[in-house]
Amino acid sequence: MRSQRDRMLSGEPYDPSDPELVDLRASAVERCRRLLTLPPRDEDARRAVLVELFKRGGETVGLHAPFWCDYGVHIELGARVFFNFDCVVLDVCPVRIGSFTQFGPAVQIYTATHPLDAAMRRLHESGRPVTIGDDVWVGGGAIILPGVTIGSRTVIGAGSVVTRDIPDDVVAAGNPCRVIRQLDARR
């Protein structure tokens, strides 16, 4: 029988009260709280926590606490990703973020979703992965919903709610987020 964690990561309905998942979430919260208590200039201690927190990319991520996530170990970061204050990542499914991507304050990335049926919602939740390309800029307060892919070099306007995939090299904004204009694809 597959573990609840395996079911969760594959997007199947899973039991969030499973002891392994509860323990993993507690570890992530402890690491996020530790980031809050460390002096901002103690770069070595902060870096050690970030390396433990993320599956990949903790070595180069820039992050202003507070930062919160469900697990952390399901978040894969490229080189030099930056999270401003108050970002939240609900990583019940993989979250993959490309290199040099930047998030404004209070950006939220959700992979978690719940059944519409109330009785099922009492027992299970599920998720869909989120993928964000290289060199993306996500403005403050944007919300990225489960299953979304955002292409490389794209700009997401502040306060946007990203409900569907957004291609490479565009400016997109609004609720729901939609492409406003094409960007020059030259690097």
What integer pLDDT is reported at residue 184 of this predicted model?
A: 87
Residue written as token pair 């995939």: 165
Write out the catalytic residue numbers. 114
Q: Are strands 126-127 and 112-113 parallel, antiparallel or unpaired?
A: antiparallel
Assign a CATH topology to domain 4-182.
UDP N-Acetylglucosamine Acyltransferase; domain 1 (2.160.10)
Contacts with 79 (C-beta within 8 Å, 6 or more apart), sequence order: 57, 60, 99, 100
User: pLDDT, tens digit, for every residue of 68-91?
Assistant: 999 999 999 999 999 999 999 999
Cα 149 to chain centroid distance, Å, stands at: 12
pTM score:
0.95
Q: What is the mean pLDDT of residues 60-69?
A: 97
pLDDT category at 4 given cuts 50, 70, 90 is very high
Whether the pLDDT of residue 116 is over 70: the answer is yes
pLDDT above 70 as % of the chain: 99
